[in-house]
């Protein structure tokens, strides 16, 4: 019997190319890293954590709306899912892994290692049609549902507080799609927030490394151009003082068109 749930569909960017060119032992290490970042630790998991099924390079996360626990005390399932994905994207940057995906809402059945339902189909199609870049998009229908469904909100927050917390995790792209603003949101989630400039340096390195093989604009390089623009937008909004402790300047963390020729700006 289908249940209402938040469903996230994720996959690893460029996995097909990795399978062709990388040894199987290294593929396993990549999948292990993704699993660690996206699957709840069973020792730490609470009753509100998602159920997760992974296959090949794809991961499906399901947070049931009408669980006994959430009916008794809604904890803010949408915020919890988005925040978990901020952590997943941030942690995987350190292993040169980029993920993309979609978060939606609807009917699904997950049981005994099987998962299916119209919401899973919708999540898969949204990821293929609109994620495209290394981003996790949020279905507009989920945002609409959130506004009217108290089981998606936290009972201990006012509506205004809850909405603000969720808004702070998201960014609207030029195409109108909302996506998880992980490179910005991860700052407040770090055990040592002063390490944020180090994260941004690592983020920059991953983008430049991934773009090096592509001299002319193609479908793959286009993804890194998008990511470089996203990175630069995040860095541009940060005060210079944030970098001074590490003897850095903002310009040291920005990505230039000299470093990535496909990243061209009309104005100097």
From the number of C-beta atoms within 10 Å of its C-beta (0-12, 13-18, 19+), residue 81 rates as buried
Least reliable range by pLDDT among 24-33, 48-57, 84-93, 200-209: 24-33
Which has more pLDDT, 229 or 32?
Answer: 229
Which has more pLDDT, 139 or 52?
Answer: 139
Helix, strand or coil, per DSSP, at residue 164: helix
The pLDDT of residue 20 is above 70: no
Domain segments of the chain as ranges: 3-188, 190-253
Dist CA 257 CA 223 (whole Å): 15
Q: How many CA atoms, within 13 angstroms, populate the side-chain half-sphere of residue 223?
A: 20
Q: How far is CA 180 from the centre of its chain?
A: 5
pLDDT at 122: 96
* Chain segment 161-188, per-residue pLDDT in tens: 999 999 999 999 999 999 999 999 999 9
Q: Which residues pair with 109 in a beta bridge?
A: 116
**Predicted confidence band of residue 137 (pLDDT cuts 50, 70, 90):** very high
The H or E element containing residue 178 is strand 178-180
The pLDDT of residue 94 is above 60: yes
Which option is the CATH number for 3-188: 3.30.70.1230, 3.90.220.20, 3.40.470.10, 3.40.30.10?
3.30.70.1230
Q: How far is CA 119 from the centre of its chain?
A: 19
Q: How many CA atoms, within 13 angstroms, populate the side-chain half-sphere of residue 76?
A: 18
Q: Give the mean pLDDT of 1-30.
A: 74
Question: What are the strands, taking DSSP E only, across the chain?
Answer: 3-12, 51-55, 58-64, 99-111, 114-116, 136-138, 170-172, 178-180
Q: Give the mean pLDDT of 7-13.
A: 91
The H or E element containing residue 14 is none
């Amino acid at each position: 019997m289908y249940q209402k749930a938040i469903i996230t569909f994720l996959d690893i960017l460029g996995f097909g190319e990795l399978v062709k060119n990388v040894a199987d032992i290294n593929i396993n290490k990549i999948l292990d890293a993704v699993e660690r970042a996206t699957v709840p630790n069973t020792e730490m998991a609470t009753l509100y954590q998602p159920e997760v099924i992974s296959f090949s390079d794809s991961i499906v996360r399901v947070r049931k709306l009408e669980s006994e626990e959430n009916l008794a005390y809604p904890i803010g399932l949408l915020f919890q899912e988005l925040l978990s994905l901020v952590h997943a994207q941030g942690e995987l940057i350190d292993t040169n892994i980029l993920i993309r995906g979609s978060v939606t809402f609807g009917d699904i059945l997950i049981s005994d290692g099987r998962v299916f339902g119209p919401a899973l189909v919708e999540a898969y199609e949204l990821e293929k049609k609109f994620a495209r870049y290394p981003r996790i998009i949020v279905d507009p229908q989920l945002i609409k549902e959130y506004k009217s469904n108290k089981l998606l909100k936290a009972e201990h927050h006012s509506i205004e507080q809850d909405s603000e917390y969720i808004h702070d995790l998201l960014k609207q792209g030029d195409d109108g799609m909302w996506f998880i603003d992980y490179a910005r949101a991860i700052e407040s989630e770090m055990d040592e927030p002063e390490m944020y400039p180090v994260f941004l340096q690592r983020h920059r390195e991953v983008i430049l490394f991934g773009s090096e093989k592509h001299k002319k604009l193609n479908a793959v390089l286009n993804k890194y151009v998008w990511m470089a623009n996203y990175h630069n937008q995040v860095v541009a909004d940060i005060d210079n003082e944030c970098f001074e402790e590490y003897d850095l300047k903002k310009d040291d963390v920005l990505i230039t068109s000299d470093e990535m020729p496909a990243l061209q700006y009309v104005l100097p």
